[in-house]
């Protein structure tokens, strides 16, 4: 539904229609972050409760739900060559330029555009020159080798490195990540860095000469963009030191959050931009030095960056009901780790020591079960051997080693180990790794059957999605979450950068439903234990507090919980 509305917005924008594209996109974004099935909302007659959905869009949603298409969009598409939509994906080409090229040169797709640029037809147009033609070709080349969005877990270390580099080389204190990376979104488009310095040129010199820089995309008085060899774009913005708080607020976003904040400012006779919060009439500075000053001046409590998506955090802040989000230090252990016995590359002992160093009280060993041959799944016999080792290690390392297993949920919903074996384990992580393409009804029954087994503790990576690679399997998540609640089974938030499953939105729904979440790394090596931070970040984006998370329990409480 969101995709369709975005398409409407794109075409309207090409036509030069004012405001409607923004309206359609706003509705689309809010539909994307729904936690309830759109059909259900429609049945209850509450479509217009969705922010940004009014009479006209509600009608189109209903049409889409009942007929599978929207006539309005079909008509729009008939008027326009479909290829024009590709053209606005080229960097530096927007709707105005695309229409101009279409009218003047009859360019209707990427191939036409490339041809026209190579034949030097574009530079002949009014308002274009040699440079714009080069930019077009460059933009097409970038688009052709673009790999989509980058995963948080890969971008974050790179970005942290850049920030540290600037901090050290420029001896700056006020340097920070901004944008989607600071909000810890699961995927990011580019890396945003903000610096507060009264010598911007000096900071930008350092930035643009970083050894990993492949190309300086743009460079002005206070802003520069580079592309790293890794392909990712990094934007740096430098503001005066006194403006740092306002700028940090501004460049952290999200866009929707900022728009809402700026509207609040306007309502109070103020003006908010990246330089500060000002009185509208006199331009007198109201706040700017620290991020929290901006929020306080608007009558708000500051909230963590992970919450700033305009999904109710502003209302919660006004009402003094912001949650106390779970943090990295609340985590007492990791309940999904593989060893050499299946497809991991470390021994139980190595893992236990690593967890000790992380300050954990316990670690749950969960090798694969027998049916997952490709991962060297353990037979019952080998599993028992692992239990013996675990008992020994636990007495040596001062970290409690819990023995569990990541047990295959077979096609019929039964587990890959018999119940008497499951009972001997400290806990059971159930997982679907086969027959991903089952129809929704059958897949849901399969998972519900597993959830009803008394031995089940945690449902691993519940939706099965792999970011940028594989869609979630067809599963009725409403029923799965309700069953998890009924049977007191926890849902995993798998911290692997490719998964982050549950995602932020489902985390929030789990909290609302009273379903406990286990944040686990699914580590196959010692280094991967560090992915916990991305799991915690996603939990924070889902507004989870420590009490919503299983592995914030101390060992005593956890043991008690597991024995029930």
**Which residues sit at the interface with DNA, rule CB under 7 A?**
18-20, 22-24, 26-27, 48, 51-58, 88, 90-98, 123, 126-133, 135, 179, 189-190, 192, 218-223, 233, 235, 255, 258-259, 262-263, 266-267, 271-275
Closer of 230 and 266 to DNA (Cβ): 266
Across the beta sheet with 270-273, the strand order is 270-273, 276-279, 285-287
- Least Cβ distance, residue 122 to DNA (angstroms): 9
Closer of 192 and 330 to DNA (Cβ): 192
d(CA 535, CA 541): 10
15, 34 contact by CB (below 8 A): no
Closer of 28 and 393 to DNA (Cβ): 28
Beta strand spans in 416-559 (E): 427-431, 458-459, 490-494, 517-520
193, 236 contact by CB (below 8 A): yes
Which residue do the tokens 């270390």 mark? 157
463, 504 contact by CB (below 8 A): no
537, 152 contact by CB (below 8 A): yes
- Nearest one of 185, 139, 138 to 159, comparing CA atoms: 185
d(CA 194, CA 178): 6
- Least Cβ distance, residue 173 to DNA (angstroms): 22
Closer of 55 and 171 to DNA (Cβ): 55
- Least Cβ distance, residue 290 to DNA (angstroms): 20
Closer of 87 and 335 to DNA (Cβ): 87
Tokens for 75, please give them.
Answer: 């008509």
Closer of 216 and 505 to DNA (Cβ): 216
Closer of 123 and 210 to DNA (Cβ): 123
Closer of 283 and 469 to DNA (Cβ): 283
d(CA 46, CA 48): 5
- Least Cβ distance, residue 111 to DNA (angstroms): 19
**191-196/490-494 β-pairing:** unpaired
Q: How far is CA 402 from CA 334, 390, 395, 406, 498, in A?
A: 10, 7, 12, 13, 26
Beta strand spans in 229-340 (E): 233-239, 270-273, 276-279, 285-287, 333-337
Closer of 108 and 457 to DNA (Cβ): 108
Closer of 58 and 177 to DNA (Cβ): 58
Tokens for 35, please give them.
Answer: 């936690």
Distance between the two ends of the chain, CA-based, in angstroms?
Answer: 43
Instruction: Tell how many helices (H) and how many strands (E) occur in the chain.
Output: 24, 17
Dihedral sign for Cα atoms in the order 322, 324, 326, 328 = positive
Closer of 284 and 486 to DNA (Cβ): 284
DSSP H helical ranges for 324-465: 348-357, 380-397, 419-424, 440-451
335, 561 contact by CB (below 8 A): no
Closer of 194 and 475 to DNA (Cβ): 194
| Three-state SS at 491 | strand
d(CA 237, CA 192): 8
Which residue do the tokens 């998506």 mark? 309
d(CA 103, CA 290): 49
């Amino acid at each position: 539904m969101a995709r369709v509305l975005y398409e409407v917005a794109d075409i309207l924008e090409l036509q030069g229609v004012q405001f409607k594209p923004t309206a359609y996109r706003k509705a689309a974004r809010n539909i994307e972050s729904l936690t309830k099935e759109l059909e259900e909302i429609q049945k209850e007659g509450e479509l217009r409760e969705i922010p940004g959905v009014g009479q006209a869009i509600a009608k189109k949603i209903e049409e889409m739900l009942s007929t599978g298409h929207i006539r309005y969009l079909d008509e729009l598409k008939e008027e326009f060559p479909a290829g024009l939509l590709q053209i606005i994906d080229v960097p530096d080409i927007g709707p105005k330029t695309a229409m101009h090229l279409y009218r003047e040169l009859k360019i209707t797709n990427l191939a036409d555009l490339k041809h026209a640029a190579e034949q030097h037809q574009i530079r002949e147009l009014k308002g274009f020159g040699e440079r714009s033609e080069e930019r077009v070709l460059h933009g097409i080349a970038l688009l052709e080798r673009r790999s989509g969005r980058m995963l948080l877990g890969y971008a974050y270390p790179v970005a942290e490195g850049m920030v540290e580099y600037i901090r050290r080389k420029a001896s700056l204190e006020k340097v920070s990540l901004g944008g989607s990376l600071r909000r810890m979104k699961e995927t990011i488009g580019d890396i945003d860095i903000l610096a507060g310095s009264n010598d911007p040129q000096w900071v930008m010199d350092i930035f643009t000469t970083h050894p990993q820089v492949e190309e300086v995309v743009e460079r002005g008085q206070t802003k520069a963009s580079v592309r790293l060899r890794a392909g990712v774009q990094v934007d740096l913005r430098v503001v005066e030191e006194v403006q740092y708080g306002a700028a940090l607020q501004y460049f952290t976003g999200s866009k929707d959050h900022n728009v809402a904040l700026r509207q609040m400012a306007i309502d109070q006779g103020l003006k908010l931009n990246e330089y500060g919060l000002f009185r509208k009439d006199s331009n007198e500075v109201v706040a700017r030095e620290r991020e929290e000053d901006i929020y306080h001046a608007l009558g708000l409590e500051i909230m963590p960056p992970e919450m700033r998506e305009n999904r109710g955090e502003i209302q919660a802040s006004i009402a003094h009901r912001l949650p106390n989000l779970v943090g990295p230090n609340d985590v007492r252990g990791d309940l999904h780790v593989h060893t050499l016995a299946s497809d991991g590359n470390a021994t139980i002992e190595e893992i236990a020591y690593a967890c000790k160093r992380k300050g954990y009280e316990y670690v749950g060993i969960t090798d694969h079960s027998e049916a997952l041959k490709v991962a060297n799944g353990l037979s019952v016999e080998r599993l028992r051997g692992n239990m013996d080792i675990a008992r020994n290690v636990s007495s040596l390392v001062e970290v409690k080693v819990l023995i569990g297993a990541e047990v295959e949920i077979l096609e019929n919903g039964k587990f890959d180990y018999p119940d008497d074996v499951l009972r001997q384990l400290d806990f059971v992580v159930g997982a679907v790794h086969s027959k991903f393409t089952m129809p929704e009804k059958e897949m849901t029954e399969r998972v519900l059957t597993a959830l009803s087994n008394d031995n089940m503790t945690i449902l691993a990576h519940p939706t099965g999605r792999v970011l940028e690679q594989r869609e979630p399997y067809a599963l009725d998540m409403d029923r799965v979450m309700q069953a998890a609640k009924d049977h007191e089974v926890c849902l995993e938030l798998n911290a692997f950068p490719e998964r982050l499953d549950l995602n932020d939105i489902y985390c929030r729904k789990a909290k609302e439903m009273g379903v406990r979440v286990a944040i686990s790394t699914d580590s196959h090596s010692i280094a991967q234990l560090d992915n916990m931070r991305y799991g915690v970040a996603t939990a924070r984006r889902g507004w989870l507090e420590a009490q919503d998370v299983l592995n914030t329990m101390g060992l005593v409480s956890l043991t008690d919980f597991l024995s029930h």
